[in-house]
Structure 1
């Protein structure tokens, strides 16, 4: 939970509903924070942040609808072609269409749109579709839309892609996305430019924010079913004017069949005052209604990171033997303070081969020797994280050949199996170019596959591993289509299905031994709640990355960095990880080598992990609290706080200048106790005011304690 003052900005408000003086022409919802006005055409005239004085709206329609009619798909219904009946009650506006007009036809599809100003000070946009047509399916509803959006010049776009991305120019970001291969070629870019973003196929949470330093505009879908949702970023206009009209919105996919009714009450917009954190608070306050995260085992909390290795590769090369686990791998890890290893390719066929037939290598002594070497690595507190893939089924595997693979695999809109191909390169070019492995994708809802997942967990436990790790089980997959209806319809809650599978596995492991941990790859809120740690998908120190969003919103999630694969730019990236409270994923040369082959990385990570050891109660076990509890006067310098009990650590670093200084003022009830540093750092001051001077890539941990 965030401090009470952060919640108050959303909860405390003077609530009133007012109809315009000419009720037949405009309808409004208003309080001391937000004002919304629609006209009698259902167009959004006003969306105003009362405190900031900003009106984001420009009098454009607030919805768009698409239906399929046999072979003709993506028929676009425009709000401007339809005349609604609008009524208002004490707390909401109702915009109703008994039928909708498409071109010159009147179609028996009813549409009801409601806007309500909640007591929590955000706008709820509800919708209902009634399909009375025999030969149409309503595929998509884009609502609410804020078209030709008036954004202040200082607003950034903050998405939740892979945990958070931040772009200083939203329009330019959309243009850049359309320059990518496959962008305009596949889309009607003569009409609009679009940056595609679909939760949970990229965004780690179902929201996005347009944020200035003191105010912002929040879009979210507070949908506990975790159904697929489009985050709408479009530019309308033309080539001549540079496509300069920004449209933002939320897209839902009803797949409303003939004779069916579909409803949604999840979409929200909030205008707020304060930093982007106020929008993150809004999402977390909603997430608390379903969040089920358990406290991980203590050894996981203390885990500074892991070595990630591929023992045998896809093309047959053995990079590490079983004996290497308890000897060389263990020794090199200890040289940098890591006693954890994530082991890929420990099975006889090698990494990304023959899933889910996981058989230890008989030439290396099979299960008996593997179990022995796992125990040797784990002696004195080490941990082996044993790799499995949570979704892929090799078409050459015995499981697939038995017929079970085809039975549980995801099917596309023609009934064909959805396949994925993975091909790693050896020293040559043939294997990586032509000789790939082909997999089908398992539907996590299928009992047969769930039984297989449990079988993997039991095998890991039997081999003595301290954790079972499921690659790709934390991510959403392509939809499994149901072809039994008049129109084919896809499953729309694959991330919820994956979450329930992880929940089932966690409960199974807890019964065996609650100290055995569960991990997965990919960061999504719906699945993160059911695991003990997450292996990130991309490096958090990359340009535009803003992992700050997820770390602030869900600080209890233990998350790794990624993509430090060589020996370059080490200090900045390692410092970034400790600053944001990320665990180190050490995957030298794409998990083919150990960190002793990257001497700069080895030396520096060893120093940083000494800091983590010294302050583990705060940096590892404590709660990441972003920039709470302190103020700092230099934006070039980065600092983040961690709190546990009556103690607080502030990590301070900078990577831009040869030297930079900052004055740090903490809350009055704290007093400075000690520090630990790496690099060029000078500390002065006392009490609750400390001055720091940092050379480039210098880093320090300042420890404070509440006054007795």
Structure 2
């Protein structure tokens, strides 16, 4: 419900559960604008303080247009700026779009819309959690009762949190464990950054516990939790700028049901890029570093076939090589020349071909996001391609650290300068360096750090030949398409992989590589059950990580000594990984070609209490389910009971990496320490 007086959103209630997300109408919000004026950069237009100029309901009653004119800011008086808000109601969701019309000589840097005021948990005793998929994993951030504060306290009046932003975060969920609200994009590739920003006003009751006020006011201050979708549009004088659309939907159940909404939206636009056939099969990788920034040379180019023979012995299909470039890994960027101390370019190309001849594919890691400031190239040419902030200063960070005590202490780390991908000269540089790698004729390229631009989300340079500012992420897929167009000229099955990737990049890169922690949420796997995703396996008896690969359908990448070892350095890991992949091959209708459903479709209990370490796959041919149950405990077995959602008790057979022959089961199964058992439904 919207106010006819000032257009604020006064009520937002789930039709599924009755959860009234916004409690007090008088604390509702509409929009906000950040409009710096001379002498006062912090100057906001508060939409709730403006009168509506007009509003119009569409003939079908499902669309609403709200228009505000001559906007009054905190410190700049009245501005000849209009804000147009558009709301569309569908059966599944609300859709918010907007535009800013700026007739002043000022810049509207940020427009916030929609804005939600007085966000309230579903019940006083329920938590409110912000959940967001980021890259291949996900975040859980508590909003109530303990507000998680991430922005610097010295820079804000209230407790603020704005860690979730597109494109790195796909959407957010406001979740209480049993229900929630989904807030996500309408278009897959917006032309500006969006950020979901929370403010807890006026602050918290207690610094240590982070508890907010449980009354409407405290010490005369209104107590409320607000959320705004920030659009970093930088609408300059005379601009009419459209804001990317935002959808809001309610769901019932766990966060997976919220992501079902995202999954359904994604199906309206996503088309999986061409994937080489060998990637679609169960297989494993090995990663090895040739050289690093502190000159730790690991092997000569001509020794590569020997490493490939060891991989072939263990059934490993591909090798990713890092640090093969001049200077070693994370030194000399963007140069992709070969390293003379490792051998000649011709020797490297011949070694790659020899590996391919024996059936082991070579993938070369490349990196184009930043430049090494310590190199002559940067001083002579690269500096002109650096992304610059509004003050004309380059965006940088401390470089990655390697091996030596001096570098690990940060005393000689090579500083990274982030590039402006809107600069035509930089894109030409990237293509030139990419071709150096591709012309070695590997089976593919892994574009490392492709998912981010560090702090250089925008470039504000006025001499780069692009609009100011330019949104760096807008060029990610353009570059990827140029990569693909080049490699298609000699190999239509050339594999393009990206590190983790933000969601829109999956339109161009068919595979992603990542590392996970024990508490990872694996959200991308849930909303994309079949995308080839690869996980690092670094331990020397890495059973738990390997079990996760089966549970979440990840390709394994063996990386002993943090990708500086050899296949024979981790025999326990590689032997167990091989038995897991054998199990996936034998039961691939479930565990590889089956649809990953997360925990949906089964329940697992231990001593009558929920046991969470399981996933469900659905056989697309028969509809039968497989439940993969893992026990991460290093000492104790776990005896659990598995049920499916049908009316009659399901009948199973149990299989495991160690005992792949099916054994009848009534759903009771004991899983040993650091082990996994799969129950296959019998139909």
Instruction: Say if 2:233 is the partner of 1:254.
Output: yes
**Aligned counterpart, 1:594:** 566
Instruction: Say if 2:477 is the partner of 1:499.
Output: yes
* TM-superposition CA deviations, 1:22-66 (whole Å, max 9, x none): xxxxxxxxxxxxxx3446343333111123111110222323221
**Aligned counterpart, 1:523:** 501
- Secondary structure of the 1:197 match is strand
- Distance in 1 (CA, whole Å) between partners of 2:82 and 2:680 is 58
- Distance in 2 (CA, whole Å) between partners of 1:163 and 1:243 is 32
Instruction: Say if 2:413 is the partner of 1:436.
Output: yes
> Any conservation in 1 of the 2:597–2:615 contact (CA below 8 Å)?
no
Residue among 196, 215, 219 paired with 2:163: 196
> Any conservation in 2 of the 1:567–1:601 contact (CA below 8 Å)?
yes
- Secondary structure of the 2:288 match is strand
- Distance in 1 (CA, whole Å) between partners of 2:289 and 2:69 is 60
> Any conservation in 2 of the 1:311–1:343 contact (CA below 8 Å)?
yes
- Distance in 1 (CA, whole Å) between partners of 2:278 and 2:649 is 29
> Any conservation in 1 of the 2:52–2:68 contact (CA below 8 Å)?
yes
**Aligned counterpart, 2:142:** 169
- Secondary structure of the 2:405 match is coil
| C-alpha displacement of 1:399 | 5.1
- Distance in 2 (CA, whole Å) between partners of 1:674 and 1:295 is 36
- Secondary structure of the 1:264 match is strand
| C-alpha displacement of 1:370 | 1.4
- Distance in 2 (CA, whole Å) between partners of 1:429 and 1:387 is 26
- Secondary structure of the 2:383 match is helix
TM-score, length-normalised on structure 2?
0.85
Instruction: Say if 2:529 is the partner of 1:555.
Output: yes
Instruction: Say if 2:335 is the partner of 1:375.
Output: no
**Aligned counterpart, 1:57:** 22
| C-alpha displacement of 1:532 | 2.4
Instruction: Say if 2:488 is the partner of 1:510.
Output: yes
| C-alpha displacement of 1:385 | 0.8
**Aligned counterpart, 1:21:** none
**Aligned counterpart, 1:78:** 46
> CA, structure 1 residues 265+606, in 2 after alignment: closer, same or farther (shift >3 Å)?
closer
Residue among 19, 35, 41 paired with 1:67: 35
Instruction: Say if 2:173 is the partner of 1:209.
Output: yes
- Distance in 2 (CA, whole Å) between partners of 1:366 and 1:265 is 50
- Structure 2's unaligned 5+ residue stretches are 214-223
- Distance in 2 (CA, whole Å) between partners of 1:64 and 1:399 is 44
> Any conservation in 2 of the 1:389–1:470 contact (CA below 8 Å)?
yes
| C-alpha displacement of 1:191 | 2.1
- Distance in 1 (CA, whole Å) between partners of 2:663 and 2:177 is 30
What RMSD in Å do the two structures reach over aligned CA positions?
3.4
- Distance in 2 (CA, whole Å) between partners of 1:672 and 1:510 is 49
**Aligned counterpart, 1:151:** 121
> CA, structure 1 residues 619+432, in 2 after alignment: closer, same or farther (shift >3 Å)?
farther
Moved more, 577-586 or 91-100: 91-100
- Secondary structure of the 1:561 match is strand
> Any conservation in 2 of the 1:159–1:209 contact (CA below 8 Å)?
yes
**Aligned counterpart, 2:439:** 462
- Distance in 2 (CA, whole Å) between partners of 1:154 and 1:663 is 28
Residue among 251, 261, 269 paired with 1:282: 261
| C-alpha displacement of 1:670 | 14
* TM-superposition CA deviations, 1:573-596 (whole Å, max 9, x none): 221222111222333333222354
Instruction: Say if 2:448 is the partner of 1:490.
Output: no
| C-alpha displacement of 1:257 | 1.3
- Distance in 1 (CA, whole Å) between partners of 2:39 and 2:359 is 62
- Distance in 1 (CA, whole Å) between partners of 2:396 and 2:462 is 18
- Distance in 2 (CA, whole Å) between partners of 1:148 and 1:289 is 33
> Any conservation in 1 of the 2:594–2:620 contact (CA below 8 Å)?
yes
- Structure 1's unaligned 5+ residue stretches are 1-35
> CA, structure 1 residues 464+125, in 2 after alignment: closer, same or farther (shift >3 Å)?
closer
- Distance in 2 (CA, whole Å) between partners of 1:647 and 1:398 is 61
- Distance in 2 (CA, whole Å) between partners of 1:432 and 1:379 is 43
Alignment of 1:227-238 (within 5 A): 227-238=192-203
- Distance in 2 (CA, whole Å) between partners of 1:362 and 1:374 is 16
> Any conservation in 1 of the 2:446–2:496 contact (CA below 8 Å)?
yes
Residue among 452, 455, 465 paired with 1:475: 452
- Distance in 1 (CA, whole Å) between partners of 2:379 and 2:584 is 49
Residue among 35, 40, 45 paired with 2:5: 40
| C-alpha displacement of 1:159 | 0.8
- Secondary structure of the 1:523 match is coil
- Distance in 2 (CA, whole Å) between partners of 1:295 and 1:623 is 20
> CA, structure 1 residues 643+138, in 2 after alignment: closer, same or farther (shift >3 Å)?
same
> Any conservation in 2 of the 1:308–1:341 contact (CA below 8 Å)?
yes
TM-score, length-normalised on structure 1?
0.82
* TM-superposition CA deviations, 1:292-349 (whole Å, max 9, x none): 3224111122253422221111111212222442224641x34654232111111342
- Secondary structure of the 1:434 match is coil
| C-alpha displacement of 1:466 | 0.8
> Any conservation in 1 of the 2:179–2:254 contact (CA below 8 Å)?
yes
* TM-superposition CA deviations, 1:143-189 (whole Å, max 9, x none): 212222112215543111233425373336743x43xxxx435521x
Moved more, 264-273 or 100-109: 100-109
- Distance in 1 (CA, whole Å) between partners of 2:141 and 2:295 is 46
> CA, structure 1 residues 238+365, in 2 after alignment: closer, same or farther (shift >3 Å)?
closer
- Secondary structure of the 1:518 match is strand
Instruction: Say if 2:499 is the partner of 1:534.
Output: no
> CA, structure 1 residues 451+672, in 2 after alignment: closer, same or farther (shift >3 Å)?
farther
**Aligned counterpart, 1:98:** 69
- Distance in 1 (CA, whole Å) between partners of 2:445 and 2:141 is 40
| C-alpha displacement of 1:236 | 1.8
> CA, structure 1 residues 621+453, in 2 after alignment: closer, same or farther (shift >3 Å)?
farther
* TM-superposition CA deviations, 1:324-381 (whole Å, max 9, x none): 42224641x3465423211111134211222233233445441222123223333442
Alignment of 1:173-184 (within 5 A): 174-175=147-148, 177-178=149-150, 183-184=151-152
